[in-house]
Amino acid sequence: MSDQPLHNTAQFSTPAEPPLIEPGYTFASVTDKISVIVLRKGTPRGWWVGLLISFSLVSLLLYAVSYLLIAGVGIWGINIPVGWGFAITNFVWWIGIGHAGTLISAILLLLHQEWRTSINRFAEAMTLFAVACAGLFPLLHMGRPWFFYWMFPYPNTMKIWPQFRSPLIWDVFAVSTYFTVSLLFWYVGLVPDMATLRDRSASRFGRIAYGVLAMGWRGSAYHWRRYEVAYLILAGLATPLVVSVHTVVSFDFAVANVPGWHSTIFPPYFVAGAIYSGFAMVLILAIPLRAFYGLEDFITQRHLENMGKIMLATGLIVGYGYFMEAFMAWYGGNQYDLYMAINRALGPYWPAYWALLACNVVAPQVLWFKRARSHVAVLFVVACIVLVGMWLERFVIIVTSLHRDYLPSSWGMYSPTFWDWATFLGSIGLFFSLLFLFVRFLPMISISEMRTLLPDANAEQAAEIKSDLTKLP
């Protein structure tokens, strides 16, 4: 115990950097503090209120989807020339939000960013739920969602195959692979914690339910070794995957021959935008969760600040993307592209364009200041603004490009209907309902990974004692 401060300084090379876990925690107290949130009897009232609000939005979603299945996609505001409207805007927005989870759990793991540990679990859950919400929209947008399996290559009586040269089919593979791999990654991470909950649960039902999910995990050193290998390789696989998913989503646009879409900057600029909105959502979730469940010792000020820095960096990349779009429209000398750029800024949808610039480029500049980054309320507000901005970005890209393309005779306007809004708000409700259920029934912070951050877990300490003990027998 006496040499504990020594290990603290060894672990964090710059003494000015605050620790990842507040001092004074042990293996037992970390375990208990996280698992008690799930295992305690009775549920806090705030949780019920939150679930009730989210679930009423889910009811709205069910209502909107039921009517959609009866009446068809004509209930939405979409028509020629704007056939994509809200559905695809929401799809791209949600899938972008999902990207932060895999980024935190995979890329930051490979980069040895230990601060990711306390936020990766719920960021991964956020990914799954966001991808689920995202998947909803192209399905509903198909018009006959019950034939969704036509997109997969299976031998069928029509004797035809999907068009593998189309980015829309690439999307099917990219999104379904992304969901599957994220789910596997999340579940593998959960298994040791399921074993902890199995062994700590007081109720028979809890022991059985968590026991089934733990699959008999017992913490054997052989198992841990393979587990670490598998986890690292999964992270290595998820890293190019997360980049590929939003790249493929951007191909939906970039491969098409529409002014404002047909651009090589789309893949990197979409990936940066995805991470940008994803971190905004992680902040929006982390800030109330840590306050509500008293997890400030685990999700520290340093975590919030780092996420603010990532938001600032990706926000600058996105801003560069906007600038390049406008610049290339002028520099390329193509009259349709130039008209597109002017129409975005000054055409009928000008408020959306300028609002998106204000939200995504101007607002995050406040994060240059350390005082702003370390102020929880400022971070929360900036994150909300960024999410609005990123939604507007997709809306502007889709609607302003489609509504006026080459032939002025085929121009048109798009405006969302009640059902567009109902489906969009409903998907937000679905996302938050799933999250409320998640924080109630599963540990929102990885317990086994948090243990490795404790000073007691240090391997150097182990080596010292080892030299004494090997002499023994």
Partner 1 sequence: MSNPPTIYGLLAEFEKPAELLAATRAARTAGYQKMDAYSPYPIEGLAEALGFHRTRLPLMILVGGIIGCLGGFALQYWCAAVNYPVNVGGRPLNSWPLFIPITFELTVLCAALSAVIGLFALNRLPMPYHPVFNVRRFALATRDRFFLCIEATDPNFDLTATRQFLDGLKPKQIEEVLP
* DSSP code at position 201: -
58 SS3 class: helix
Question: In this complex, which beta carbon is closest to partner 1, that of residue 314 or of residue 446?
Answer: 446
Return the residues of window 192-211 that contact partner 1 according to CB under 8 A: 192, 195-196, 198-200, 211
Question: In this complex, which beta carbon is closest to partner 1, that of residue 213 or of residue 258?
Answer: 213
Q: Which of 219, 288, 348, 412 binds partner 1 (CB under 8 A)?
A: 219
Question: In this complex, which beta carbon is closest to partner 1, that of residue 10 or of residue 230?
Answer: 230
Q: Which of 20, 58, 181, 341 binds partner 1 (CB under 8 A)?
A: 181
Q: 390-429 mask for partner 1 (x: CB under 8 A)?
A: ----------------------------------------
For residues 377 and 66, what is the distance between their CA atoms, to the nearest angstrom?
39
Q: Quick check: 440 binds partner 1 (CB under 8 A)?
A: no
Return the residues of window 5-34 that contact partner 1 according to CB under 8 A: 26-28, 31-32
Q: 136-175 mask for partner 1 (x: CB under 8 A)?
A: -----------------x-----xxxxxxx-x-xx--xx-
Q: Quick check: 229 binds partner 1 (CB under 8 A)?
A: yes
- The tokens for 239 are 């890293």
Question: In this complex, which beta carbon is closest to partner 1, that of residue 52 or of residue 462?
Answer: 462
Q: Is 320 exposed, middle or buried (0-12, 13-18, 19+ CB in 10 A)?
A: middle
For residues 295 and 443, what is the distance between their CA atoms, to the nearest angstrom?
12
Q: Quick check: 457 binds partner 1 (CB under 8 A)?
A: yes
Total length of the chain? 473
Question: In this complex, which beta carbon is closest to partner 1, that of residue 244 or of residue 417?
Answer: 244
Q: Which of 76, 185, 269, 424 binds partner 1 (CB under 8 A)?
A: 185
For residues 191 and 212, what is the distance between their CA atoms, to the nearest angstrom?
10
The residue range among 103-111, 266-274, 286-294, 457-465 that interacts with partner 1, by the rule CB under 8 A, is 457-465
- Interacting residues of 247 by C-beta distance below 8 A, sequence separation 6+: 267, 270, 271
Closest to 64 in 3D by CA, of 80, 76, 47: 76
Please provide the DSSP assignment of 412-465 as one string.
Answer: ------HHHHHHHHHHHHHHHHHHHHHHHHS-SS-HHHHHHTSGGG-HHHHHHH
**Shortest distance, CB of residue 359 to partner 1, whole angstroms?**
31
The residue range among 80-88, 121-129, 335-343, 460-468 that interacts with partner 1, by the rule CB under 8 A, is 460-468
Largest Cα–Cα separation, the chain: 92
Q: Quick check: 251 binds partner 1 (CB under 8 A)?
A: yes
201 near 35, Cβ under 8 Å? no
Q: Quick check: 461 binds partner 1 (CB under 8 A)?
A: yes
Return the residues of window 259-288 that contact partner 1 according to CB under 8 A: none
Residue with tokens 């689920």: 132
Question: In this complex, which beta carbon is closest to partner 1, that of residue 4 or of residue 365?
Answer: 4
**Shortest distance, CB of residue 107 to partner 1, whole angstroms?**
15
Return the residues of window 67-86 that contact partner 1 according to CB under 8 A: none
Question: In this complex, which beta carbon is closest to partner 1, that of residue 199 or of residue 384?
Answer: 199
Q: Quick check: 302 binds partner 1 (CB under 8 A)?
A: no
Based on its alpha-carbon atoms, the radius of gyration of the chain, rounded to whole angstroms, reads 24
Please work out the total of residues on this chain that contact partner 1, with binding judged by CB under 8 A. 75
**Shortest distance, CB of residue 101 to partner 1, whole angstroms?**
15
Distances (CA, A) of 303 to 31, 104, 283, 365, 368: 20, 11, 9, 19, 16
137 near 424, Cβ under 8 Å? no
Question: In this complex, which beta carbon is closest to partner 1, that of residue 69 or of residue 230?
Answer: 230
15 near 9, Cβ under 8 Å? yes
Question: In this complex, which beta carbon is closest to partner 1, that of residue 118 or of residue 448?
Answer: 448
